[in-house]
Structure 1
Amino acid sequence: MIIPPKLTFLGFGEAGTALASGLIDAGIDDIVAYDILQNNFDNVIELEAKARDVKVHLASNYKNAVIGREIIISTVTCTEAVTVARAVSPHLRAGQIYLDVNSVSPETKAEIGSLVMRSGAFFIEASIMSPIYPKRQAAPMILSGPNAPDIIKRMAPYGMILEDMGPEFGKASATKMFRSIIFKGLEALLQECVVAADHYGVAEKVLDSITHSYPEIGWDKLASYFMERTVTHGTRRAQEMEEVAKTLRALKIEPFMAEGAAKRIAWLADQKIKEALDGKTPKNYREILNALRLQ
């Protein structure tokens, strides 16, 4: 009989909630989470309700979140990944596994790994390689680090799709960073295209023209998908592109595209489109453009 691991999630936003709910459905019944937003009264009620729905216990602090846990999974924002690792590292113990799935540069992952491993805990870097929903814990991940085979063996029975990229740190995070140049770069390109075209009332015509040239891609649906992602998660996605730029600079490659994409994505995120839509998620790019026109 396989005894399920005791898990902790550091950060309980979109990724943490999705992974935790999927793992609970797959048979892991002992999951703890801690999110720094619990210290904010405006957020704690929402987090407590989410935890009840998912059947996750909320710890009161970092120490209580990790003590006695087998696997700790960091699903915070890229700007907080190092801070959280530094805060939790004094409470880690030898033999624990710390899995960092945040979208950060290889250099940032190395800093996190150094903080974790000085405690005697094992560090594994991971990159999620698809949208977290609807697959949840089955969203494919790639892993780097000498202990990657251990967590693959431990978590495979619970539906996690984990690929070992080898013992060398940096490969998993680099793959995610360079992939983001394409995906988030396209997100920024489509946004800039349709926002500008809408000033002349030709956004639909432009996308229709592109579709005639590349009919295998549904450009209007793609524009709607990416712009909704920007509206909903744009601040985080822009920060992730800044991590891409950091990766490129470390290679002495000027991050022209990465920096531009980060600025473009951040711009739309700052427009507070959801507030203009009374908190509703926009159904398509046209709703976003209409909201921008009213500003």
Structure 2
Amino acid sequence: MSGDSVITVLGLGEAGGAFARDLVAAGARVRGYDPAVAAPDGVAPAASEAEAVAGAALVLSVNSAHDAVDAFRNGAAGVADGAIWADLNTGPPSLKRELDGLATARGVRFADVAIMAPVPGRGLRTPLLACGDAAEDVAGLLGPLGAEVAVLPGEAGSAAGRKLLRSVFFKGLAASVVEALEAARAAGCEEWLRADIVDELVRAGESTVDRLVEGTHKHAVRRAHEMRAAADMLDELDVPNVMAAASRDLLDRLAAEKSEK
């Protein structure tokens, strides 16, 4: 990317603001727009999406999945020939395919970019996964500025899908830990359970996933009863048991499927 090229960041919240600051620090010319957040030092502010994207080589849309389509529609008219619109918002693959279709109809090159780790503390060095027609170019533009962009073959939506599949595990695990510790606090043994969880996570190895999956299927009936008792106990402790109840329901389904075979 030439020294005169502009990178536009739409959305200057936690993630977008961090990316914008790091891009400036890496020597890039950065323009930004956010109706609610002031542009960081070194970022040229714009009054609208259309003004922000005018003449930019690369547009990073980091606002929200809810606003992603409107941001594109508001800014598309100002996108220069050959410019790339990269959507970094966390949304379903269908949203990325919709954006890709809108971009194609306007002659704009598009990339679906998934942010694969928390941004605070990492900024532009947060691992990114990109796919779509312009994915290689996004990696080529951001890589020299310090970004870590892995390119995934396939149409727009593939990167978003992988991020969300990963979220099912990581966010589900986090939610289970939070619920379990809340219940343990109510039962008067939070420190014991916290230490037990840490020990289990530290001892996890390559065989852990196979052990969890195989054991869950093999012992679904017994474990469904166990999680029903766990959910009942949380009711007695007056602790919401969303995760315990969901585990019970999943195990009930697996047990039913097993009995039908």
TMscore range, shorter length: 0.7 to 0.9
Aligned to 1:24: 24
Return the match for 2:119 from 113, 127, 132.
Answer: 132
Report the RMSD for the aligned CA atoms in angstroms. Answer: 2.3
Aligned to 1:62: 49
Normalised by the size of structure 2, how large is the TM-score? Answer: 0.73
SS at match of 1:36: coil
1:160 aligns with 2:147: yes
| Structure 1 residues 197 and 73: alpha-carbon distance in aligned structure 2, compared to 1, 3 A threshold | same
CA distance in 2, matches of 1:61, 1:20: 17
Aligned to 1:100: 87
| Structure 1 residues 211 and 147: alpha-carbon distance in aligned structure 2, compared to 1, 3 A threshold | closer
Computing the radius of gyration over CA atoms, which structure comes out larger, 1 or 2? Answer: 2
Aligned to 1:90: 77
Aligned length: 208
Aligned to 2:34: 35
Aligned to 2:185: 198
Structure 1 contact 71–97 (Cα < 8 Å) conserved: yes
**How far has the Cα of 1:190 moved from its partner?**
1.3
Aligned to 2:10: 10
What is the correspondence of 1:240-259 to structure 2 with a 5 Å cutoff? Answer: none
| Structure 1 residues 207 and 4: alpha-carbon distance in aligned structure 2, compared to 1, 3 A threshold | farther
Q: Percent identity of the aligned residues?
A: 30
CA distance in 2, matches of 1:71, 1:135: 21
Normalised by the size of structure 1, how large is the TM-score? Answer: 0.65
Aligned to 2:158: 171
Aligned to 1:187: 174
| Structure 1 residues 213 and 35: alpha-carbon distance in aligned structure 2, compared to 1, 3 A threshold | closer
| Structure 1 residues 208 and 154: alpha-carbon distance in aligned structure 2, compared to 1, 3 A threshold | closer
| Structure 1 residues 69 and 198: alpha-carbon distance in aligned structure 2, compared to 1, 3 A threshold | same
What is the correspondence of 1:71-86 to structure 2 with a 5 Å cutoff? Answer: 71-86=58-73
The one-letter amino acid of 1:120's match is: G
Gaps of 5+ in 1: 38-46, 218-255, 262-295
CA distance in 2, matches of 1:107, 1:61: 26
Q: Which has the higher contact order (CA 8 A, sep 6+)?
A: 1
Larger CA deviation: 70-79 vs 205-214: 205-214
